[in-house]
Amino acid sequence: MTKDIVIIGGGLGGLECGYILSKHGMKVTVLEAASTLGGCLQTFKRKGLTFDTGFHYVGGLGEGECLHPFFNYFGLTGLPWKKLDPDCFEKIVFSDASYCLASGYKAFEDRLCAYFPAEREGIRKMVSCYKEVSSHISDNLYPGKENPANELLARGAGDFLNAISSNRRLRDVLCGSALKMELSGTLPLYVFCEVNGSFIQSSWRLEGGGARIAEALAASIRGMGGEVRTGARVTSVIEDAGTATGVTLAGGETIPARTVISDIHPASLLALIPECRQVRRSFRSRISSLENTFGMFTANLVLKEGALPYENRNVFVHADGADLMHPDPRKTESVMISYYPSGSDRARAIDLLSPMAWELVEGFGGKPGQRGDGYQELKEKKLNECIALASKAIPALRDAIDYAYTSTPLTYLSYTGAPCGSAYGIRKDWHAPMTTMLSPRTPLENLYMTGQNLYLHGILGTTMTSVFTCSQILGSENLAEEILKK
């Protein structure tokens, strides 16, 4: 039987597309190569505790905020979300001082102005940019509608930060939680504002981890008559006269489809498309040459019973002399401390995350657990560096650790398929936004792309991209109206 829609990849973007199109009466099949759905939303258990792969918190989930209408549409607002402390949802820690950031644009601005009273003008300019992007974010869902915030795609975040203030410490505080993205010389100001702005609105953890999102979407798709399969690796896209007509799976099974959507990396998708006139070598070369963002080292820490208090915030610790506007992923200069909801005032588990360059791990082959002593030594060294840095904020951390489990960009590649273990997909470049921000359409008729590699990364960016992709297929603005209920 020919399916209406076949989706390659069961990450957030693929599942959201599956939900939207199932809701519009289409016969949908989602194919995930791994044994577990979710991509970066995957969770795993250690010592009876649940740990996240890539997901740690979301922003803008409150009523009237930017993520809420989307997650309300997907039936996700009823999950066990835990709001972070509005008075200090993020703490930025340096050797000589720490800074608590408050939720809500006005509270955020007032708190920064209290820390830096001589920098009010620059702070207000930054907050104004956050507001501009957030207030117009839904404009992008309407084809042809002018969005004044889009001019920020062609401005560099670093240049803007330098322009609004010469105060190095203020700039470091504004960049202090930028491990949610790759803040480099190429990052567009729009991306910086979209990501930070949503978290300033409000920030939330999810009890039970990101897999709850994937499980809820998959259950809804199945409930609407769709199919969601794991262990289903696509080996090729079937092409006929310039049109995608289905996919072939490992083992030889073919699934005919009227439309195919890819939720995998664009370069990985191109490897599945046979040579044909429509997909020119120049297109393949352009996509394969796009750079990927750096990866992450993660330490999942099981804590001794009662050893540390639970903190209802995320903490970002930075080494002396670290250049936060141009982080070097070859060094351990910044670490994010993320607590897991424990149901009490004592913490049971935390994650430490720090940027890590692909070049540090690419020489180690083999499967997870079979990469040799050199790889284990590298991970142990990185773990100790992260613990030492995080101890600036939590002096008792090292003695509080019961077990530590570590992963690198190589692990990320193994379990999510992200090239180079990239944490945030294709690197966006304000010098060439139209080149590094990709359209859902491909040279093949009826083959579309979705996911964080196209437009924006993270939960909000990927969610918006799934709507862009489905709007191309459904062919109208009705989807935006349906979701936003305007």
284 and 244 in one domain? yes
Last residue of a domain, one of 201, 233, 263: 201
CB 460 within 8 A of CB 199: no
In a domain, 51, yes or no: no
In a domain, 461, yes or no: yes
In a domain, 330, yes or no: no
Domain CATH for 23: 3.50.50.60
435 and 287 in one domain? yes
pLDDT of residue 369: 78
187 and 232 in one domain? no
234 and 170 in one domain? no
Determine how β-strand 90-93 pairs with β-strand 314-318.
parallel
Q: Which residue segment(s) compose the domain that 285 sits in?
A: 3-44+209-291+429-484
273 and 231 in one domain? yes
Kindly give the parts of the chain with pLDDT less than 70.
143, 476-477, 486
153-205 pLDDT, tens per residue? 999 999 999 999 999 999 999 999 988 888 888 999 999 999 999 999 999 99
CB atoms within 10 A of CB 142: 15
CB 301 within 8 A of CB 335: no
Last residue of a domain, one of 171, 201, 231: 201
In a domain, 401, yes or no: no
189 and 145 in one domain? yes
214 and 194 in one domain? no
CB 21 within 8 A of CB 479: no
CA distances 117 to 97, 160, 161, 162, 368, Å, are: 16, 20, 17, 18, 51
Distance of CA 352 to the CA centre of its chain: 16
174 and 25 in one domain? no
Total number of domains in the chain: 2
Residues 36 and 43: their CA atoms lie apart, in Å, by: 9
164 and 234 in one domain? no
pLDDT of residue 481: 84
192 and 111 in one domain? yes
Last residue of a domain, one of 170, 201, 232: 201
166 and 233 in one domain? no
pLDDT of residue 380: 97
In a domain, 277, yes or no: yes
pLDDT of residue 476: 67
435 and 457 in one domain? yes
Determine how β-strand 295-303 pairs with β-strand 349-356.
antiparallel
Look up the pTM and report it.
0.95
pLDDT of residue 390: 98
pLDDT of residue 183: 87
